[in-house]
């Protein structure tokens, strides 16, 4: 039997309108969330770069301080070797804090007469300069924030994927109205509903950013 033409105000027209409306709302939600996650991505990458810069600055400062500590300790050794105890004490009182504690522990081991003592205060367990630890901590935080940016990028791409699927739903629902044969319209409507369902599943199974989350 030949396929019947569609009458005006047929149920398929109403169904098409409903599908288009629902798909449009879901697509708008997905597009909005995708833009929010893109903002999260940009913020995370910017913060990660800032932390990397701070880490490099802290590492450079630590290297400078270590060179200064080595220089002042060398000056102390020279003064001590020449018997200038006054100058040696002058240098010892001006050691940087990271070196001062290690130097005191080293001196308490009587390194000049004790062969078991470390060669320099830099080799004592108490020598733990804060600079390298700070640089390492900042580098670790930068890596964590970069991973947050990567995650935001993946979520944003996933919302874009959902939007692509929903655009297929709009296409099938829109083109269905062009045809006058019921069988063709029903087939295209079914494809539109299926694409809408798949797009909705993709969008609503992704993490979403609320206004409160964004403000925090």
pLDDT tens for 21-64 read: 999 999 999 999 999 999 999 999 999 999 999 999 999 999 99
Closest C-alpha to 34, from 216, 212, 202, 215:
202
Closest C-alpha to 26, from 196, 171, 154, 175:
196
pLDDT tens for 180-209 read: 788 888 899 999 999 999 999 999 999 998
The enclosing H or E element of 31 equals helix 11-81
pLDDT of 52 reads 95
pLDDT of 182 reads 82
pLDDT tens for 132-182 read: 889 999 999 999 999 999 999 999 999 999 999 999 999 999 898 888 788
DSSP 4: P
pLDDT tens for 81-126 read: 888 889 988 988 888 888 888 888 898 988 878 888 888 899 988 8
The enclosing H or E element of 9 equals none
Indicate whether 216 pLDDT > 50.
no
> What's the chain's average pLDDT?
88
5 has which bridge partners? 181
The CA distance from 19 to 67, in Å, is 71
- Whether this prediction's pTM lies above 0.75 is answered by no
Confidence of residue 1 (pLDDT cuts 50, 70, 90): very low
The CA distance from 102 to 104, in Å, is 5
User: What are the DSSP calls for 161-212, one per residue?
Assistant: HHHHHHHHHHHHHHHHTT--BHHHHHHHHHHHHHHHHHHHHHHHTS----HH
> 3-class SS at 5?
strand
């Amino acid at each position: 039997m030949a396929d019947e033409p569609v009458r005006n105000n047929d149920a398929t027209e109403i169904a098409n309108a409903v599908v288009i409306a629902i798909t449009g709302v879901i697509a708008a939600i997905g597009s909005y969330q995708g833009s929010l996650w893109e903002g999260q991505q940009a913020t995370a990458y910017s913060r990660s770069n800032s932390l990397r810069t701070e880490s490099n600055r802290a590492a450079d400062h630590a290297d400078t301080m270590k060179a200064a500590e080595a220089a002042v300790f060398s000056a102390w050794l020279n003064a001590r070797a020449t018997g200038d105890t006054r100058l040696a004490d002058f240098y010892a009182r001006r050691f940087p804090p990271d070196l001062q504690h290690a130097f005191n522990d080293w001196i308490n081991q009587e390194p000049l007469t004790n062969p078991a003592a470390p060669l320099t205060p830099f080799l004592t367990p108490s020598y733990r300069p804060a600079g390298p630890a700070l640089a390492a901590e900042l580098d670790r935080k930068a890596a964590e924030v970069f991973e947050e940016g990567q995650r935001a990028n993946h979520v944003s791409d996933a919302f874009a994927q959902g939007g692509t699927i929903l655009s297929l739903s709009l296409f099938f629902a829109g083109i269905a109205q062009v045809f006058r044969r019921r069988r063709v319209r029903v087939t295209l409507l079914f494809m539109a509903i299926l694409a809408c369902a798949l797009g909705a599943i993709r969008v609503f199974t992704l993490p979403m950013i609320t206004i409160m989350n964004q403000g925090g």
